[in-house]
Amino acid sequence: MAKKSVWSDNRFWQRSAAWVTGFASILLIWLTFDTSVQIAMGTDADLQNGVTKRVPGPTVINYKITYEMSTARGHEVPVIGEKELFFGRDDYSEEEAGALLHLGKLGSQTKNCMNCHTLLGNGAYYAPDLTKAWLDPAWGPEGSMQAMTGKETKEEAMAEFLQHPSTYPTHARMMPNLGITAEEAKGLVAFLKHMSSIDTNGFPRNFGKIKGAVHGK
């Protein structure tokens, strides 16, 4: 009988499978520690001292956020600028802002935004991506939504829309009324504003930069 080759030996492959799996798992766990530190939420002190965090603290709602091309990184990054009023205030404490964000994040789950929209690109494809919704031109001074909802500011217009979405339709495919209260809407807008400040490595690309280039128009 010919000598049995190691390549056709089940024990050999069983051990290889165990080693490969163990090695990959350990590497993943190690990377998870590193990533967890990098995506932990920043603090109010970080914001005041200009420390850039991938996920800024909740008090980022006190500041103006823009999405600008970074030549060093070759794509757009969120930039946190000077103070900006949010529902008439720019002095939310860490606790107040944290409570708003908490309410908004809870609302985003209990109202099931993710089964129509994508958040950070994950979710459903029935409605626009919300990653940078806070920065969408439609909500800005040049957009139509403030006039449509009869509100003076972006955050009030968004909150009004979220409470009565099917009252302000812009397309045949409408967002339904989800029973969102005024307080919940405020939390959700804080949640959306916070999300727009997360460093997503340049996703989405060219957000809001190109206007009206479709069909040669």
Binding residues for ligand HEC, per CB under 6 A? 107-108, 111-113, 116-117, 126-128, 130, 133, 136, 158, 162, 169-171, 173-176, 178, 188
Q: Looking only at residues 127 through 186 of this chain, which bind other proteins when binding is defined by CB under 8 A?
A: 127-129, 132-133, 136-138, 166, 170-174, 176-179, 181, 184
Alpha helices in 40-93 (DSSP H): 44-48
Three-state secondary-structure class, residue 132: coil
Q: Which stretch binds other proteins (CB under 8 A): 44-52, 82-90, 103-111, 149-157?
A: 103-111
Instruction: Answer yes or no: are the C-beta atoms of 135 and 65 closer than 8 Å.
Output: yes
Nearer to ligand HEM, 121 or 141 (CB): 121
Binding segment toward other proteins, per CB under 8 A, in 35-43, 44-52, 85-93, 154-162: 35-43
Interacting residues with ligand HEM between 64 and 103 (CB under 6 A): none
Do the beta carbons of residue 12 and residue 6 sit within 8 Å? yes
H-helix segments, the chain: 10-39, 44-48, 94-110, 145-149, 154-163, 182-196
| By CB under 8 A, residue 189 contacts other proteins | no
Q: Does 8 bind other proteins (CB under 8 A)?
A: yes
Q: Which two tokens stand for residue 13?
A: 């492959």
Report the C-alpha gap between 56 and 46 in whole angstroms.
Answer: 8
Among 34, 125, 171, 212, binds ligand HEM (CB under 6 A): 125
Q: CA distances (Å), 33 to each of 40, 116, 198, in order?
A: 11, 32, 19
